[in-house]
Structure 1
Amino acid sequence: MQREAGGGRIFPQVWRLDPFSLRSRLTIGIATVSSVGLGSIALWTGWQMQRILINSHKQGIEYIAGRLPHDVELYSEMMPVETGLSKAINNLTTADTLLWVKHSNGKITAKSGNLKTQSDRGTAAALMSLTQMPSQAQVSEVNGRFFVLRGSPLQVREKAIGQLFVARDISGDRQMFLAMVWNLGIVSLGVLLTVTVAIAFYLRRSLQPLRQLNLMTQLISAEDLGQARLNLERAPSEVKELAQTFNMLLSRLSQAWEREREFVSNVSHELRTPLTIVHGYLQSVLRRQHNLTETQQEALETAASEAERTIHLLQDLLDLARADSGYLQFRLDSFVLNDLVAEVVGMARQYSDRAIAIETETHPIVVKADYDRLKQVLLNLIDNAIKYSESDTSIQVKLDGNPTAATIQICDRGYGIPLQHQSRIFERFYRVDEARTRGTGGSGLGLSIVKTLVEGMGGSVTLRSKLGEGSVFTISLPV
């Protein structure tokens, strides 16, 4: 049966802001490009609108400056030139346009008669005090207001009668333009935020297959390599190719893992028998000590000890290989746990000559487990407690039971295990201190065997340790 992940149906949706994620980077990148694009369009639009607005006013000023001499000529045929000039100026004067004619001596000979619409007569006076103006219409600021200004010589019938000045107030139009640009900026910002949110949700949905790949890899263990497969139905083609490659990788890893387990099982099985024979011959020779010198006896004892340690190591490897393959058998029977604990503690006292105390309930605690396997587990944990604690400290074995589970605690007052190592202490061949492990003869498989056997009997094993205060291994078994 395959473990599959497809269509986003088995994995929960997780919204988590990560500034370094691909989704955040794409969102920020697209939002930045969009903001630059919208900003450029807004600036270009504003610049074009301002240019059109100013050009329209400039054209109006140029039209007035070109028409006034013609009107003065028409009026001068019926009335004096000064009267015709004033009448022509008043005809071309509007609410936002001011005209005046200044003689060469600096005296104003005619000007717009209707100045009531001008917001500030001081501003009008400041304009009329100007002596020079551009010959082409230009925008200038006078007293905090903006005007389009133009000055040109005024001739009537080829006779110069002064300098014509035209000023059009565009402050109101400019304020309206700035308000429009401000509103355009606000709308652009709103559009940008909306687009950014939409992009973020779209990318979140588009990257969901990659999140499924990530979650799937977190769930896969060594035991699942042969069954775990990815099936992404509605993913992009690139992600589907990645999933297929990932499935091929899982298949190769599964085959490699299976070959490794078979190799360990075969090697352990093949080496255990000859080593057992060698160990038996060494023990037989050692029993005839009167024929051996002291050096020979010491060498044979060392060889026999190492052979025995290697046999135990091979047995542990064989048990682990069988557990990985599902061939490790357990004979689960009901028995009194108090009796087993007392037997194991008695054996440990005999071979270690250490003080080992038992704290147990007065009533018998019955569990359903494999008697021999549980004995192996307890001997292993007590042996660890003896090895990694001082010889003058005691070891406690606490036994407790309740209606649902029985617990066994092996407590020592030894060196303790650092916090960063506690989560990996049950891994195979993992050693907290290589030098100390070599000195005590450990292989790094003991606790892994303990965990495998206890879980195989339906229980659990946990560790609580503190440096300098010791460690407590707790086994929980169903009653």
Structure 2
Amino acid sequence: MRAIHVPQPTRPTGVSSLRAVSIIRFVLPLILCLLALGFEFGEHGGASETQRAGWPGMSEMVIFGMLGPAAVFATMSYVVALLRKINVVQARLTEMNQGLERLVTERTTDLQTSNADLAQANRQLHELDEMKSDFVALVSHELRAPLATLNGGLEVALQHPEDLPLRARRVLDLVMGETLRLTQFVQTILDVSQLEAGKLRLNCGPLAVRPMLRRAAEIVFGPDEQRIVWQIPTSLPPAWGDEVYAEEAVRNLLRNAQKYAPPQSPIELTALQVGNAMRVCITDYGPGIPAEAQGKIFERFYRAGQGDEHAPHGWGLGLHFARSLIVAQGGSLSLESPARTDPDAPGARFILELQIAEEAQDYAKAAPDR
């Protein structure tokens, strides 16, 4: 940061001026007095006794030789007093400016030191965050192989469930479900780490919205898909996005609705074109999201109702990952709650928007260097 320079006023020149005026204050009246006396004597020095008797020289000498120089002396004395006051003010102003310059220099030095310390602390935090992300990604990557082996072994063991005792089959089904949930969690952590590090590759292109929503609903709800209330036109223009990760974002939103809405309650799934965007709305009939939690609902590891023993199990990554994926594809994800007027089931509505494929392509052609 460049140091602030306060210009220091020039050193007062009134000291020498005051000395000169002080000398002139005495010399000028004396010269005027001598000139007046000399002029009067020169003019009337050769006059006769009779002329001298009527000579008004004394009055002229008093007026021109005494009062005039006295007036000049008084005026010069006033000027001297003014110059002294000006010198005092200039001295104080110089002292104040010097003090201000020292203060600004000290503050600038302190600010530069603070900025350097802050920059160093920021670099250290950035390095720690990168180390954390790398560590999480490494652990998640290392967990994938044993989890895949475990899932494969469980699938083999459950190929012929009729040959297993009922209790053993139930235990294997439970272990299989928990293993799949853990696998999904590890994959989510890995994807979040890669996305935040800018290493997640997105292959954006025209995206058929209706089939993508159908697949996501079938995967999340399975045979319980009849809960979905479809409000999707038969003809929709393609959106612009990554088919895999756009569907992943929709799955996370559907899982969230499935988790928090009462069992068997309907879940509305709407898609429509709004201007140059494709809007997908997922509305549930659950308890809604409190106003104080809506600003944090998309943060990592944040869950509404934390600390409530009756709250559904989760890690607080689904909504964060869904929004990050949609934003990375040039879209947006927002929340409305309450979504309904029913006080017992106000619900929540998540609004996902992606660009229409034609509009996105036209924008890319118009700005190829962006």
Normalised-by-shorter TM-score class: 0.5 to 0.7
Q: Deviations over 1:381-403 (max 9, x none)?
A: 11211111112321111111134
Q: Would the aligned equivalents of 1:338 and 1:365 in 2 still touch at CA under 8 Å?
A: no
Judging by fraction of residues, say which structure has more helix.
Answer: 2
Does residue 470 (structure 1) correspond to residue 342 (structure 2)? The answer is: no
- Determine helix, strand or coil for the equivalent of 1:434: coil
Q: CA deviation at 1:371?
A: 0.9
Give the alignment of 1:44-63 within 5 angstroms: none
Tell me the equivalent position of 2:236.
Answer: 364
- Determine helix, strand or coil for the equivalent of 1:407: strand
Supply the distance in 1 between the matched residues of 2:2 and 2:231 (Cα, whole angstroms).
Answer: 53
Tell me the equivalent position of 2:145.
Answer: 273
Q: Would the aligned equivalents of 2:3 and 2:108 in 1 still touch at CA under 8 Å?
A: no
Amino acid at match of 1:454: I
Tell me the equivalent position of 1:376.
Answer: 248
Q: Would the aligned equivalents of 2:236 and 2:272 in 1 still touch at CA under 8 Å?
A: no
- Determine helix, strand or coil for the equivalent of 2:202: coil
Partner residue of 1:251 out of 105, 123, 145: 123
Give the alignment of 1:144-293 within 5 angstroms: 236-293=108-165
Q: CA deviation at 1:411?
A: 0.5
Tell me the equivalent position of 1:308.
Answer: 180
Tell me the equivalent position of 1:404.
Answer: 276
Supply the distance in 1 between the matched residues of 2:198 and 2:300 (Cα, whole angstroms).
Answer: 17
Shift in alpha-carbon separation, 1:351–1:328, aligned structure 2, 3 A: farther
Amino acid at match of 2:354: L
Does residue 324 (structure 1) correspond to residue 201 (structure 2)? The answer is: no
Partner residue of 1:413 out of 249, 273, 285: 285
Supply the distance in 1 between the matched residues of 2:2 and 2:183 (Cα, whole angstroms).
Answer: 48
Taking only aligned residues, the RMSD between alpha carbons, in angstroms, comes to 2.9
How many residue pairs were aligned? Answer: 257
Supply the distance in 1 between the matched residues of 2:305 and 2:207 (Cα, whole angstroms).
Answer: 37
Q: Would the aligned equivalents of 1:431 and 1:437 in 2 still touch at CA under 8 Å?
A: no
Q: Would the aligned equivalents of 2:305 and 2:311 in 1 still touch at CA under 8 Å?
A: no
Q: Percent identity?
A: 25
Q: Deviations over 1:178-214 (max 9, x none)?
A: xxxxxxxxxxxxxxxxxxxxxxxx9xxx99xxxxxxx
Q: CA deviation at 1:241?
A: 1.2
Q: CA deviation at 1:306?
A: 1.3
Q: CA deviation at 1:6?
A: 7.6
Judging by fraction of residues, say which structure has more strand.
Answer: 1
Tell me the equivalent position of 1:56.
Answer: none
Tell me the equivalent position of 1:453.
Answer: 325
Q: CA deviation at 1:234?
A: 10
Shift in alpha-carbon separation, 1:384–1:352, aligned structure 2, 3 A: farther
Give the alignment of 1:405-444 within 5 angstroms: 405-434=277-306, 440-444=312-316
Larger Rg: 1
Q: Deviations over 1:320-355 (max 9, x none)?
A: 111111110111111322232233334445343542
Q: CA deviation at 1:463?
A: 0.7
Tell me the equivalent position of 1:109.
Answer: none
Q: Would the aligned equivalents of 2:277 and 2:354 in 1 still touch at CA under 8 Å?
A: yes
Q: Would the aligned equivalents of 1:399 and 1:407 in 2 still touch at CA under 8 Å?
A: yes
- Determine helix, strand or coil for the equivalent of 1:236: helix
Q: CA deviation at 1:240?
A: 1.5
Supply the distance in 2 between the matched residues of 1:7 and 1:360 (Cα, whole angstroms).
Answer: 63
Supply the distance in 2 between the matched residues of 1:258 and 1:320 (Cα, whole angstroms).
Answer: 13
Q: Would the aligned equivalents of 1:437 and 1:443 in 2 still touch at CA under 8 Å?
A: no
Amino acid at match of 2:169: Q
Supply the distance in 1 between the matched residues of 2:233 and 2:225 (Cα, whole angstroms).
Answer: 25
Supply the distance in 2 between the matched residues of 1:452 and 1:436 (Cα, whole angstroms).
Answer: 27
Supply the distance in 1 between the matched residues of 2:249 and 2:285 (Cα, whole angstroms).
Answer: 20
Supply the distance in 1 between the matched residues of 2:171 and 2:142 (Cα, whole angstroms).
Answer: 25
Q: Would the aligned equivalents of 2:217 and 2:225 in 1 still touch at CA under 8 Å?
A: no
Q: Deviations over 1:209-244 (max 9, x none)?
A: xxxxxxxxxxxxxxxxxxxxxxxx996211211111
Structure 2: where are the runs of 5+ without partners? 5-99, 357-370
Give the alignment of 1:340-351 within 5 angstroms: 340-351=212-223
Structure 1: where are the runs of 5+ without partners? 9-201, 208-232
Supply the distance in 1 between the matched residues of 2:195 and 2:2 (Cα, whole angstroms).
Answer: 31
Supply the distance in 1 between the matched residues of 2:313 and 2:159 (Cα, whole angstroms).
Answer: 25
Normalising by structure 2, report the TM-score.
Answer: 0.63
Q: Relative contact order, CA 8 A, sep 6+: which one is greater?
A: 2
